[in-house]
Amino acid sequence: MIYENNGVKLFYEIKGDEKGTEVVAFFNGVMASTSSWYGCIEPLEKAGFKILLHDFKGQLKSDKPIPESGIYSFEDHAKEAKALFDSLGITKVNIVGTSYGGEVAMKFAAMYQDMVKTIVVIDSVSELDEVCKNFVESWKVLCDCGDGEKFFYGMAPSIYGPEFMEKNKVLLAKRAIATKNIDKSYFVGQKILYDTFAQDVYMTDELSKITCPTLIICGEQDILKPPKFSDIMHKNIKNSEYVIFPHCGHVTIFEQQETLNTNILGFVMKHK
């Protein structure tokens, strides 16, 4: 389905109990799309939740407008998500976000305190270091090559944990091939999103505005956004819990999906 906001079309999907009032919205990682969450939503569907998925502007199935400033902002993403929620009559929401989506979730929770019941923030940051910045710059170079397969293999070591990569060589090879002929517009949107992240993610000083129950999750082997960043978020969000997943890299939603699903369901149900 398509929702248009100020001339920008956002792709979204509704799963689970479409008429339900208990809502969980999932916010994507930067390279992802709504389908990236399909393995995570089943437990919540069975528990009777309404599930909302959407691509941010710049992502695969949504519009990719080129801003005059060269970047979007996390505030923009939060406002557009709020407009989507309002259009669907959603007044209270639980948000689960990974990486870039976790950062949007924190921005949203700081801006719209009365609307958010809980947030789950997975492998995210509220500030950057030089290692993370340089990984992002390398992704921009990969985008310029215009080859989805080369892009996948180039970025994979920065996001997948070493144990996952060793055990899932065939799966990763299939994903690389599936990405080979991706539309070139994907890379246009990606570069804008990378620059948005690098220039606008700084929000540590805003974390005290988040008042809802918060679950922070980080992969122990995440080299892109390592646990030190989750430590910062945990220390600055008063009502937060913090879990580190051992033997896990940055892509927790794939690498330890079942364990993650149990944590998300338990946390949301606890605060239902």
Give domain status of residue 141, yes or no: no
Into how many domains does the chain fold?
1
pLDDT of residue 261: 98
Average pLDDT of the residues in 35-47: 97
With respect to residue 238, please indicate whether it lies within any of the assigned structural domains: yes
The residues near 202 (Cβ < 8 Å, ≥ 6 apart) are 126, 127, 128
Of the pLDDT bands very low, low, confident and very high (cuts 50, 70, 90), residue 32 is: very high
Strand order in the sheet with 116-122: 2-5, 8-16, 50-54, 23-27, 93-98, 116-122, 214-219, 240-245
Report the CATH number that the domain containing residue 36 is assigned in CATH: 3.40.50.1820
Q: Is residue 123 part of a domain?
A: yes
The predicted-structure confidence for 84-133, as pLDDT tens digits, reads as follows 999 999 999 999 999 999 999 999 999 999 999 999 999 999 999 999 99
Report the distance separating Cα 100 and Cα 103, nearest Å.
Answer: 5
218 inside domain: yes
- 36 falls within a domain: yes
Place of tokens 């008429």: 19
Q: Has residue 169 been placed in a domain?
A: no
Q: What is the mean pLDDT of the chain?
A: 98
What is the C-alpha separation between 157 and 73, in angstroms, rounded?
A: 27
Read off φ and ψ for residue 221, nearest 5 degrees. Answer: -100, 15
187, part of any domain: no
Does residue 190 belong to any structural domain of this protein?
no
Domain that holds residue 43: 2-127+202-270
Question: Which tens digits make up the pLDDT trace of 190-222?
Answer: 999 999 999 999 999 999 999 999 999 999 999
Q: What is the pLDDT of residues 225-249, one digit of tens each?
A: 999 999 999 999 999 999 999 999 9
Rg of the chain (C-alpha set): 17
Instruction: Give residue 227's pLDDT.
Output: 98
Model confidence band, residue 49 (pLDDT cutoffs 50, 70, 90) = very high
Q: What percent of the chain has pLDDT over 90?
A: 99
pLDDT at position 69? 97
68 contact partners, CB below 8 Å, separation of at least 6: none
Q: 111 in helix, strand or coil? A: helix
Q: Is 179:152 a contact under the CB 8 Å cutoff?
A: yes
